[in-house]
């Protein structure tokens, strides 16, 4: 007699085990294994049915460029790589309440002016979506709205030649296939429903926008396999207390994958922010110690943000390090270089670092701005209010050139900054900002310190 086959699947990472255990060995989460029935096992090998021969072609052929559909919400179109590609699947992840449904309703309302768009909500009733549409002033947009969760019905509604060209599934965790025993939101359901929906989207050339919830540690809930199944993964992020939201492409088969779009959540929905630097610097007060303006690049665009640091004597044996919006191991490196290569006694202090406004900076070019903010906080001498800073720091303390210098300088000049602390270029070449910005070129991190020297020695209250 055949054994009833079951397996235990981790609801966090999708790993499967023949036996139950309290902890998932793959991702380390506790109590995430759930029993699932294994579908009838596939026949071993290929069997007797012969396959068709594949036609091979040369690399040099002419392929049509994928046609793009523009929503005319520029921040959204740019993050998608210049518009939505027909027959592609996008996953939009984000914390609950961050504004995914709002964004997609606004996008479909714009797209619906030119093409048929369906918005299928599994989380909210039709009335709730209508109420949101009324609040956004979109009631007259010809979006086709439905509240449904059974994938069999959804596929039947999408799978015909004159069906909608764009479909939103809000959210994948509420959808289910009735032939599977598992509950909606489990790995098995999420994987199977996404596969069915993507299959019909590819066959009919439908652009599929799938909403996915994010777990507390930032993964798209359920399986990571979902990220492999779709063409594009976008994360919608932002701090709850802040009004603005950042849409970030983390994977894109049809465009650059590090692009961001910036929006502001207001009374009537999301508004595009076409000049993010102005927004990130809006609350800035000049001449405060411990802050530096970093001239960064996000995707294809320069973005200026303020880096804030607080260095305070620590009452603890192991001083605290708290970082928001930057990599904490990178902070540890900058602190170690300051201490070991420049003789700055900083290690015994508590260090708090934050990127103002909630942006997450990942570029190594922010090193120098962080170092400037730290030294400024330690010495009590502000970074000049009209200065921007960028540059990567190496382990020996050398300040290294970074890419896209001209773009950074241009943006700084545009926003009225007067000088720049930057790496000495390898070869001197004229930059766009040369006429307007006074350049302070640094070779080594040691060159930064004289800029913060006061006449009286700074109070050093560390354990030195
Ligand atoms: P929502 O799109 O429902 O989030 P998600 O789908 O990601 O869970 O966004 C809900 C939040 O946005 C909610 O806290 C209210 C706020 N909001 C506004 O501030 N202004 C608006 O015009 C709308 C529609 C929502
Ligand atoms: Mg929602």
Tell me the per-residue pLDDT of 262-309, one tens digit each, with 9 for 90 and over. Answer: 999 888 899 998 888 887 888 787 778 999 999 999 888 889 999 999
Ligand 1 mean position to 248 CA, how many Å? 18
Distance CA 105, CA 168 (A): 9
What 3-state DSSP class applies to 247?
strand
Please state, as a whole number, how many other Cβ atoms lie within 10 Å of the Cβ of residue 180: 18
- pLDDT tens digits, one per residue of 174-224: 999 999 888 888 888 898 999 999 999 999 999 999 999 876 665 656 556
Residue 315: pLDDT above 60?
yes
Residue 261: pLDDT above 80?
yes
Q: Which residue from 355, 347, 397, 361 is spatially nearest to 373, judged by alpha carbons? A: 355
Strand 84-85 vs strand 144-147: parallel, antiparallel, or unpaired?
unpaired
Residue 105 confidence class, pLDDT cut points 50, 70, 90: very high
Counting runs of H as helices and runs of E as strands, what totals does the chain give? 10, 23
User: Phi and psi dihedrals of 24, rounded to 5?
Assistant: -85, 120
**Tokens coding 401:** 């050139």
DSSP secondary structure letter of residue 55: P
Ligand 1 contacts CB of residue 419 (under 6 A): no
Ligand 2 mean position to 441 CA, how many Å? 48
Sign of the dihedral defined by the CA atoms of residues 141, 144, 145, 151, in that order: negative
Ligand 2 mean position to 352 CA, how many Å? 34
Of 101-115, 237-251, 339-353, 421-435, the range with the lowest mean pLDDT is: 421-435
DSSP secondary structure letter of residue 254: T
Q: Any idea which residue has 């652009």 for tokens?
A: 207
Distance CA 428, CA 434 (A): 11
Distance CA 383, CA 292 (A): 6
Q: Which ligand is nearest to the CA of 103?
A: 1
Mean pLDDT computed over 438-451: 92
Residue 109: pLDDT above 70?
yes
What 3-state DSSP class applies to 228?
helix
Distance CA 103, CA 345 (A): 48
Q: Whose alpha carbon is nearest atom 25 of ligand 1?
A: 269
Ligand 1 contacts CB of residue 443 (under 6 A): no
* 439 phi-psi bin (left φ>0, alpha ψ -120 to 50, beta other): beta
Ligand 1 contacts CB of residue 133 (under 6 A): no
The preferred substitution site among 137, 220, 265 for testing ligand 1, maximizing ligand atoms within 8 Å of CB, is 265
Ligand 2 mean position to 99 CA, how many Å? 7
Distance CA 109, CA 279 (A): 26
Q: Return the percentage of the chain with pLDDT > 90, whole number.
A: 55
Ligand 1 contacts CB of residue 101 (under 6 A): yes
């Amino acid at each position: 007699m055949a054994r009833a086959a079951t397996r235990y699947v981790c609801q966090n990472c999708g790993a499967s085990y023949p036996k139950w255990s309290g902890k998932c060995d793959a991702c380390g989460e506790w109590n995430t294994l759930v029993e699932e029935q294994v579908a009838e096992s596939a026949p071993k090998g290929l069997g007797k049915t012969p396959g068709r021969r594949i036609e091979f072609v040369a690399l040099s052929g002419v392929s049509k460029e994928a046609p793009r559909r523009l929503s005319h919400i520029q921040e959204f179109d740019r993050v998608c790589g210049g518009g939505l590609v027909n027959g592609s699947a996008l996953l939009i992840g984000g914390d609950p309440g961050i504004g995914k449904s709002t964004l997609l309703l606004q996008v479909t309302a714009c797209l619906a002016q030119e093409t048929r768009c369906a918005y299928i909500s599994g989380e909210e009733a039709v009335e709730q979506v209508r109420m949101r549409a009324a609040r956004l002033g979109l009631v007259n947009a010809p979006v086709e709205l439905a509240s449904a969760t059974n994938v069999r019905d959804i596929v039947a509604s999408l799978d015909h030649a004159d069906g909608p060209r764009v479909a939103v599934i809000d959210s994948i965790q509420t959808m289910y296939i009735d032939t599977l025993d598992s509950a909606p939101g489990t790995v098995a359901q999420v994987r199977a429903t996404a596969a069915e929906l993507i299959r019909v989207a590819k066959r009919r050339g439908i652009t599929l926008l799938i909403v996915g919830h994010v777990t507390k540690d930032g993964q798209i809930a359920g399986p990571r396999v979902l990220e492999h199944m779709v063409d594009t993964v976008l994360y919608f992020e932002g701090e709850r207390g802040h009004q603005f939201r950042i849409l970030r492409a983390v994977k894109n088969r049809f465009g650059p994958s590090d692009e961001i779009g910036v929006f502001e959540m207001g009374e009537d929905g999301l508004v595009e922010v076409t000049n993010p630097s102005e927004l990130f610097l809006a609350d800035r007060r000049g001449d405060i110690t411990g802050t530096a303006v970093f001239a960064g690049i996000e995707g294809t665009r320069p973005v200026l943000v303020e880096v804030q640091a607080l260095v305070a004597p620590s009452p603890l044996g192991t001083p605290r390090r708290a970082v928001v919006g930057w990599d904490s191991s990178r902070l540890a490196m900058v602190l170690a270089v300051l201490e070991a290569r420049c003789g700055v006694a900083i290690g015994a202090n508590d260090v708090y670092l934050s990127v103002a406004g909630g942006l997450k900076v990942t570029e190594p070019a922010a090193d120098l701005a962080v170092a400037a903010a730290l030294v400024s906080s330690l010495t009590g001498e502000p970074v000049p209010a009209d200065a921007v800073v960028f540059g990567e720091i190496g382990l020996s303390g050398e300040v290294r050139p970074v890419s896209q210098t001209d773009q950074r300088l241009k943006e700084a000049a545009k926003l009225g900054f007067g000088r720049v602390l930057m790496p000495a270029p390898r070869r001197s070449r004229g930059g766009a900002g040369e006429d307007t910005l006074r350049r302070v070129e640094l070779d080594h991190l040691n060159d930064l310190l004289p800029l913060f020297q006061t006449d009286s020695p700074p109070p050093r209250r560390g354990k030195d």
